[in-house]
Amino acid sequence: MTATATSPATTTEQAPEQPPAPVGKRRRHRLGPGEIASRAGIQVLLWVYAAYTLAPLLLMVSDSLRTQPDMVKDPLGLPLEPRWENYVEAWVTGSFGVYIWNSIYITVASVLLSTVCSLLAAYAFARARHPFFKWLEAVFMSGLMMPVYLAILPIFFMFDAWRLISNPIGLILVYAALGIPFSTFVLGTFFRQLPEELEEAARIDGARPLRMFWSVMLPLVRPAIATVVVFRFVPVWNDFFFPMILMRDKATYTIPRGVTQFFGEFQSDFPLIFAGLTIATIPLIILFLVATKQIVAGLTAGMGK
């Protein structure tokens, strides 16, 4: 209360000396009772929606630790005696060990490949003057709006001819190509913000383009690389459309492809299904917790385009 009363006086006094600081202060101090009530009301709504967001995920984990009869009796109950065996059973009968390894291998390789290719291309887009590069960049950018999965039939025939069906290399190449529009877009924006004087200095020292790119530019775009890598990781890890069609051999299934198989086989064993779904989700929750910043940056990157 006292703060509210004194704040107009202090702001008028301080305003000429240091204008930016009092603005924030004044805003915080001016909260009247009505404002406080509406803020409290809004906070309640925000918590309610947060509960709605988290409840299904928490329920998935909770039910994965229960027994079938217990679940049918009380669907909202808690796992008072957690059954960790469900996870062992899901892991073994669902071959999740195989799928997780395939997912890691395919995701890491494809994200690496697409990031390296996109880095090189984005650098050229930012620095090459010839109009051809402007045109090529526009072609890449249009890829952001293309429903590429509709090209699956020709890809299937191509892979059939090249013996890439049920071959991780094929999936890696497709995912790498799919990542190029977004990755060149984010990296290109970043390269353009770097002053050209950097390269001029290096050029005077006799550095060739590739060397300059490697030792001068790359270290400076590290934050953008992190964004691209983390953000591309998610859709590649989660995709099941391409594996469903291109991976015919169970030994080459990725996690989402394996989950469809698993769900079909154990449809009536709910705790086991929940355990399988949780196994498929845990790697991404971990990724999210360590790299929230990059995920948020990736999601908001679409604003610039």
**Contact set for other proteins, span 258-277 (CB under 8 A):** 259-260, 263, 270, 273-274, 277
Binds other proteins (CB under 8 A): choice among 127, 169, 226, 269: 127
Which of 230, 196, 223, 232 shows the shortest CA–CA distance to 212? 196
Dmax over Cα atoms in the chain, in whole Å? 80
Whole-number Å distance between alpha carbons of 225 and 222: 5
Amino acid at 243: P
Whole-number Å distance between alpha carbons of 63 and 75: 8
Q: Name the one range near other proteins by CB under 8 A: 7-15, 78-86, 221-229, 232-240.
A: 232-240
Q: How many residues bind other proteins (CB under 8 A)?
A: 100
Whole-number Å distance between alpha carbons of 185 and 129: 17
Q: How far is the CB of 241 from other proteins (least distance, A)?
A: 6
Cα distances (angstroms) measured from residue 195 to each of 78, 97, 174, 192: 58, 48, 34, 8
Binds other proteins (CB under 8 A): choice among 104, 152, 169, 226: 152
Binds other proteins (CB under 8 A): choice among 106, 111, 124, 224: 124
Report the residue number, 69 or 219, with the smaller CB distance to other proteins.
69
Q: How far is the CB of 280 from other proteins (least distance, A)?
A: 5
Binds other proteins (CB under 8 A): choice among 9, 147, 219, 249: 147
- Please list, in sequence order, all residues whose beta carbon lies within 8 angstroms of the beta carbon of residue 185, skipping any fewer than 6 positions away: 140, 141, 144, 301, 304, 305
Q: How far is the CB of 177 from other proteins (least distance, A)?
A: 4
**Contact set for other proteins, span 33-62 (CB under 8 A):** 38-39, 42-43, 45-46, 49-50, 52-54, 56-57, 59-60
Other beta carbons less than 10 A from residue 238's beta carbon: 15
**Contact set for other proteins, span 71-110 (CB under 8 A):** 71-72, 75-76
Whole-number Å distance between alpha carbons of 264 and 271: 14
DSSP 8-state symbol, 196: T
Q: Name the one range near other proteins by CB under 8 A: 4-12, 84-92, 218-226, 280-288.
A: 280-288
DSSP 8-state symbol, 90: H
Report the residue number, 3 or 46, with the smaller CB distance to other proteins.
46
Contact call for residue 231 and other proteins (CB under 8 A): no
Report the residue number, 29 or 209, with the smaller CB distance to other proteins.
209
